[in-house]
Amino acid sequence: MSAVTSADLSAITTDRAYGALIGVAIGDALGMPTQSLSRETIRLRYGQITDFIDADADQPIAPNMRACSVTDDTEQAVLLGQLLLAGGGHVEPEPFAAALLAWEQSMIDRGSLDLLGPSTKAALSALQSGTSITEAGRYGTTNGAAMRIAPVGVAFRPGPALLAAVVEASRVTHHTGLGISGAAAIAAAVSTGVSGGDVASALDAAVEAAREGESRGHWVAGASIPARLVALRPHARTLDAEHFADYLYEVVGSSVQSQESVVSALLIADRYADEPFEGLGVAASLGGDTDTIAAMAGAVLGACHGAGAFPASARTTVEFVNNLDLASLARRLLEIRTRTA
C-alpha cells in the first residue's frame, strides 16, 4: 500500500470542508418546502422527501419557491464565512450585526418571508435601541447561531480556539449557554470531521464542546443539549426508521429551540452515518424546523464523509440554482485553519 502524502491529506481535508458547506445547502434546500409544516401535513402532501421539490403556494415561509432553493440557513452561513475571511478569523460584532440587518432587508426586497429568526431579530432590535453588544443576545436560545456555524468548524481545528470562535460568532444574537452550546456542538462535529474524524468521533466532540459551551454567555433556563443527546441517543438507535422519525418529532423535538433541533440533527447524523442523503430526506420530512435540522445534519455528515456523501447532481444543482461557490469559500476558510494551527 502506498503512503498517504501531504498532498493527499490536503485534498481530503479540502473535500471534507467543502462537504460541510455543501451539506448545509443540500439539507437546507431539501427542507425548504416543508419548513414550519406539521409532520402529518408533510406525510399527506409529499410522503417521504427524497429529492428537491417546489414549495406550495401556501408554504408559510417560502411560498412558491422553486425546487433546490436555499433559505436563511445557507445564506447566513455564507455571510458568516465571508465575515470570518474579512476579519482574518474573527467576527467583529458591529459588522456582523450590520450584515444581518442588510441580509434581512435584501430578503424583504426580494419579497421573501424568510427573515431573521426570533432570537436574532430580538437581539438586533435591542442593539438598535442602544443595548450593548454584550447584553443584546442575552436571551437568544434558538438555533440561529447553530444553523450558520459550519464555517467556523471549517476554519478552526477542535480545541479552545474553536470554542472561542463559536462564542465570538454567537455573542451578538445568542449570547446564552443554550445558544452557544448548540452552536459549539455543530461546530465541533464539523471541525472533527474536517480533521478526519468519523461520525461517531464527531458526535463525541459535539458532546464535549456543548458541555464547554453551556458555561459561556448568560445563563438561561433550559434542558442541557449534551445531556439530552447522551440520554436519548441509545434509545434512538434501537428504533426502526418510522419509529425513529416519530421519536424525533414527538420526544426529542423539531422546533427552533436549540435543545430540540440541534439534538435531532445530531441524532439523524448518527443514525444515517452511512446513508447521508437519505438522512437529510428524513430530516426534511420530519416536520417543524426541517430546513435547519437538515442543514445542521448535512454539515456534520458532509464534514465526516466529504462532498461525495451527496449525489453529484444534487451538489451541482444546488450551487447553480443559488449561485453559490462553496468550494472556493471552503478553501479560503481552510487558510485560516492553517494559520491558526
How does DSSP assign 33-92, residue by residue?
GGTTB-HHHHHHHHSS--S--PPPTT-SSSTTPPTT---HHHHHHHHHHHHHHHTTT---
pLDDT band at 174 (very low <50, low <70, confident <90, very high): very high
User: Region 99-115: what's the mean pLDDT?
Assistant: 79
Query: What pLDDT score was predicted for residue 309?
Result: 96
Among 262, 55, 270, smallest CA distance to 178 is for 262
In tens, the pLDDT along 176-211 reads 999 999 999 999 999 999 999 999 999 999 999 999
Answer yes or no: is pLDDT of 324 > 70.
Answer: yes
CA pair distance 17, 8, nearest whole angstrom: 14
Helix, strand, coil % over all residues of the chain, rounded to 5: 65, 0, 30
pLDDT band at 25 (very low <50, low <70, confident <90, very high): very high
Answer yes or no: is pLDDT of 158 > 60.
Answer: yes
Among 143, 151, 202, smallest CA distance to 21 is for 151
CATH 1.10.4080.10 for domain 7-339, yes or no, is yes
Residue that is written with C-alpha cell 436560545 in the block: 141
Q: Is the dihedral of CA 196, 201, 206, 208 positive or negative?
A: negative
Total Cβ atoms within 10 A of residue 102: 11
Distances (CA, A) of 148 to 42, 77, 105: 25, 4, 18
pLDDT band at 133 (very low <50, low <70, confident <90, very high): confident
Mean pLDDT of the chain: 93
Which carries the bigger pLDDT value, residue 118 or residue 305?
305
Residue that is written with C-alpha cell 426586497 in the block: 109
Number of helical H runs and strand E runs in the chain: 18, 0
Query: What pLDDT score was predicted for residue 3?
Result: 56
∠ at Cα 25 (108, 266), nearest 5°?
A: 115
Distance of CA 34 to the CA centre of its chain: 17
In tens, the pLDDT along 51-63 reads 999 999 999 998 9
Q: Poorest-confidence range of 52-66, 126-140, 205-219?
A: 126-140
pLDDT band at 6 (very low <50, low <70, confident <90, very high): low
User: Region 94-118: what's the mean pLDDT?
Assistant: 81
Residue that is written with C-alpha cell 421573501 in the block: 112
Residue 35 phi/psi, 5-degree rounding, is -60, 140
Whether the CB-CB separation of 100 and 107 falls below 8 Å is answered with: no
Answer yes or no: is pLDDT of 1 > 50.
Answer: no
Query: What pLDDT score was predicted for residue 117?
Result: 81
C-alpha cell at 288: 417543524
pLDDT band at 4 (very low <50, low <70, confident <90, very high): very low
Q: Where are the domains of the chain?
A: 7-339
Q: Poorest-confidence range of 31-35, 132-136, 322-326?
A: 132-136
In tens, the pLDDT along 247-296 reads 999 999 999 999 999 999 999 999 999 999 999 999 999 999 999 999 99
CA pair distance 235, 238, nearest whole angstrom: 5
Query: What pLDDT score was predicted for residue 5?
Result: 58
pLDDT band at 339 (very low <50, low <70, confident <90, very high): confident
pLDDT band at 8 (very low <50, low <70, confident <90, very high): low
Residue 37 phi/psi, 5-degree rounding, is -100, 155
* pTM reported for the whole predicted model: 0.95
Whether the CB-CB separation of 239 and 252 falls below 8 Å is answered with: no
Query: What pLDDT score was predicted for residue 9?
Result: 56
Residue 251 phi/psi, 5-degree rounding, is -110, -50
C-alpha cell at 197: 474524524
Helix or strand holding residue 285 (H, E): none
Whether the CB-CB separation of 58 and 45 falls below 8 Å is answered with: no
Q: Is the dihedral of CA 257, 261, 266, 271 positive or negative?
A: positive
